[in-house]
Amino acid sequence: MFSFLRLIGLGLFLILLRCKVNPPLKFSETDPLENVSEIQLPEGFEISVFARVKNARAMALSPQGILYVGSRKEGRVYAVLDNNQDGRAEEVVTVASGLQMPTGVCWHQNNLYVSEVHRILIFDAIDQNFRRNPSYRVVPYTFPSEEHHGWKYIRFGPDGKLYVPVGAPCNICLRPDDPRFATLMRLNPDGSGAEIVARGVRNSVGFDWNPQTGTLWFTDNGRDWMGDDQPPCELNRLDKPGQHFGFPFCHGRSLADPDYGKQARCDTLTSAAMELGPHVAPLGMCFYRHTAFPEKYRHGVFIAEHGSWNRTTPIGYRISFVPIQQDQAQSYEVFASGWLRKDGSRWGRPVDVLTAPDGALLVSDDYGDAIYRIAYKGPGH
């Protein structure tokens, strides 16, 4: 009898311990189900809530159709399942918890790669194991441990290498003690062969490869405290490894930094392929590879703009679109807006964008704790 009671006590202890380590989720006070009707889209498009996901950041879709989502503030990774493929998820499963800013997730050879601040984790055969509290392996390469701009968007390129940004550990600075800061790096899946492919990149939280040319395009967040209207944030194109994209010396296409601008000439550095709005905080981006949207959107770039935090008049909080022709950015326009209200209040902050197999655009929101689905229902669909 005593042993039986001890077993019950041990079971209750483990349950309480699990609740303490992995407490129930509390969603934001804003309700995307009520507010989603405020989103403005081009004619023929419609938006709906695909799933409620706490602090939803980067997304990755497995070949089996399971959506994996990183959650920086929650320290978790989720699996989101739309089992009947009706455009609304039925399940959100916690795959892992207790991680350090697990923002980035990407898929490679049946495994899920997850970024922490200083390392990359590998969850093997994840589609078969995500319900089983899966263990992970660690890629044997260590990144800097600074948390400022330390969260990482990750993705595998067409060359089979893992691309990992290392943000500047500051608003504006030089860190010659570690040349990896303010760069974009790549390494083999096993952690070997690490190298810097782009320099002068303050903080990229999204990149993708042009499906027509194979060139790498990426967003970059501009520095703060140069005024409300400068510097611009950036959309960049990497033409060859080793290019320097300006930080901390120059911003946008030719704007010299007031603190570091005298140390390098802007015309000797790689300028932005497209200047974006000042302080819009561009994060995730993707080329649209499907045919479900009208012709003008095909092969163009969708960008999630997280929104300004210290601008006098807020800006961003939207999805923008940049048409690409012959590997050149043509224009910069708003595609989806309304997360920022006219009175300056906000109820959502887009983070990442991803094309679903049916051609819909998935949008994560770490402020509204949601993932949205934007589909085209207009003429010709």
**pLDDT for residue 12:** 43
For residue 280, how far is the Cα from the chain centroid?
14
- For strands 195-199 and 243-244, give the pairing: parallel
Per DSSP, the three-state class of 305 is strand
Domain assignment present for residue 122? The answer is yes
Helix (H) or strand (E) holding 35: helix 32-35
Mean pLDDT, rounded, for 33-44: 94
Could you report the per-residue pLDDT of 301-333, keeping only the tens digit for each? 999 999 999 999 999 999 999 999 999 999 999
Residues sharing a CB contact under 8 Å with residue 235, sequence separation 6 or more, in sequence order: 217, 218, 219, 220, 272, 273, 274, 276, 282, 285, 301, 303, 322, 329
CA distances from 63 to 21, 69, 284 (A): 31, 15, 20
Helix (H) or strand (E) holding 10: helix 2-21
Higher pLDDT: 357 or 12? It is 357
DSSP at 210:
-
**pLDDT for residue 32:** 85
Q: Is the pLDDT of residue 13 over 80?
A: no
**pLDDT for residue 26:** 66
Domain assignment present for residue 58? The answer is yes
Higher pLDDT: 265 or 25? It is 265
Q: In this prediction, what percent of the chain has a pLDDT beyond 70?
A: 92
Q: Is the pLDDT of residue 16 over 90?
A: no
Tell whether pTM > 0.85.
Answer: yes
CATH number of residue 356's parent domain: 2.120.10.30
Mean of per-residue pLDDT scores for the chain? 93
Could you report the per-residue pLDDT of 97-116, keeping only the tens digit for each? 999 999 999 999 999 999 99
- For strands 333-337 and 318-322, give the pairing: antiparallel
Could you report the per-residue pLDDT of 248-261, keeping only the tens digit for each? 999 999 999 999 99
How many domains would you assign to the chain? 1
Mean pLDDT, rounded, for 130-142: 97
Mean pLDDT, rounded, for 274-293: 98
User: Which residue's entry shows tokens 């497995």?
Assistant: 62
Q: Is the pLDDT of residue 22 over 60?
A: no
Domain assignment present for residue 114? The answer is yes
Could you report the per-residue pLDDT of 66-89, keeping only the tens digit for each? 999 999 999 999 999 999 999 999
Domain assignment present for residue 337? The answer is yes
Q: Are 360 and 348 in contact (CB under 8 A)?
A: no
CA distances from 320 to 65, 176, 307 (A): 26, 35, 12
Could you report the per-residue pLDDT of 174-233, keeping only the tens digit for each? 999 999 999 999 999 999 999 999 999 999 999 999 999 999 999 999 999 999 999 999
DSSP at 338:
-
**pLDDT for residue 11:** 45
**pLDDT for residue 381:** 46
Q: In this prediction, what percent of the chain has a pLDDT beyond 90?
A: 90
Opening angle at CA 72, ends 69 and 74, nearest 5:
90
CA distances from 276 to 71, 222, 231, 335 (A): 26, 9, 9, 14
Is the peptide bond preceding residue 231 cis, with omega within 30 degrees of 0? yes
Task: Report the DSSP beta bridge partners of residue 112.
Answer: 107, 123
Q: Are 12 and 20 in contact (CB under 8 A)?
A: no
**pLDDT for residue 295:** 97
The boundaries of the domain holding residue 135 are: 40-376
Domain assignment present for residue 235? The answer is yes
Domain assignment present for residue 22? The answer is no
Q: Are 262 and 268 in contact (CB under 8 A)?
A: no
Domain assignment present for residue 31? The answer is no
Domain assignment present for residue 147? The answer is yes
Q: Which of 375, 365, 280 is nearest to 35 (CA)?
A: 365
